[in-house]
Amino acid sequence: MQTNTIIKIGVIPAAGSGKRLGYLSNLLPKTLFPIYDRPILHHVINLMESLGIEDIYIIVNIHGDKIKEYVKSIKRDLHARIHFIEQKVLNGTANAIMLVKKYTKDQPFLAMLGDECILNDSLEDFVKLFLNKGAIASEVIVEEDDIEIIKQTCCANIADDNRIVEIIEKPKSPENNLRGCGIYLFRPEIFDFIEETKVNPERNEKDITTAIDNVARVGKAYGYFLKGLTININNADELLKASNLVKKYNKAFDSNNNKDFR
């Protein structure tokens, strides 16, 4: 049962093409690739609904019409209201999140990347940490065994009180095995930090990790260690792994068995 009564807005950046997933990316956006019994996006929406999110803003671009069609087809089964915003220029996740500024109405909000698969009973403790610490930004953190995945995502340095000391996007030489996941909680102040974040010259975009690192510099960013599993899906192997884990998780849930598959 969800007990969150404050975070009511969710944001799903889903504008990317997913070219690393091969030929099917010519037909489908990555967020509609299936994980076991439903697309990645459907899982993300369901997780947001489980937290009490009432309004979800999906950021679209490539194959945006297909995302809209799919959401329309499942509308009857959804509890949250779904809204779409077009990111006309693919200039980074931070800029995608900026697009919801006028819709958040100065409220805190949850953001989850549209290619994030998470296996977890609840993120309510994540919400509690964010609220109790008075954070401007919080991000889900996991211990990652594969150094190459950290190089493709980000690496975090976390203090004993869960404060993020530093977080680096796509580090060439990661200092530890703590990976930030694409699951965030933000207060409206994050928009000021995004505006001040410099464009990455290599990718010509603003990444949300650098914006969070800027928040960390003023002591207002916190990491939450996930009690579960998460996979950022960037290739076919990760998609297959996620599908197998969700299948295993669902069977364990149905039989009331232990769900820890680490």
* Residue ranges of domains in the chain: 9-254
Per residue in 120-136, pLDDT tens? 767 999 999 999 999 99
Per residue in 133-143, pLDDT tens? 999 999 999 99
Per residue in 217-235, pLDDT tens? 999 999 999 987 777 777 7
Q: What is the pTM of this model?
A: 0.89
Token duo for residue 156: 């975090």
Tell me the CATH number for domain 9-254.
Answer: 3.90.550.10
Per residue in 45-67, pLDDT tens? 999 999 999 999 999 998 899 99
**Confidence grade of residue 259 (pLDDT, cut at 50, 70, 90):** very low
CA atoms of 181 and 164, how far apart (whole Å):
13
Q: Beta strands 154-158 and 164-169: pairing type?
A: antiparallel
Q: Is the pLDDT of residue 262 over 50?
A: no
Q: What per-residue confidence (pLDDT) applies to 176?
A: 94
Q: Is the pLDDT of residue 153 over 80?
A: yes
Closest CA to 5 of 44, 51, 46: 51
Q: What per-residue confidence (pLDDT) applies to 204?
A: 87
Q: What residues pair up with 60 in beta bridges, in sequence order?
A: 86
- Across the range 90-118, mean pLDDT stands at 92
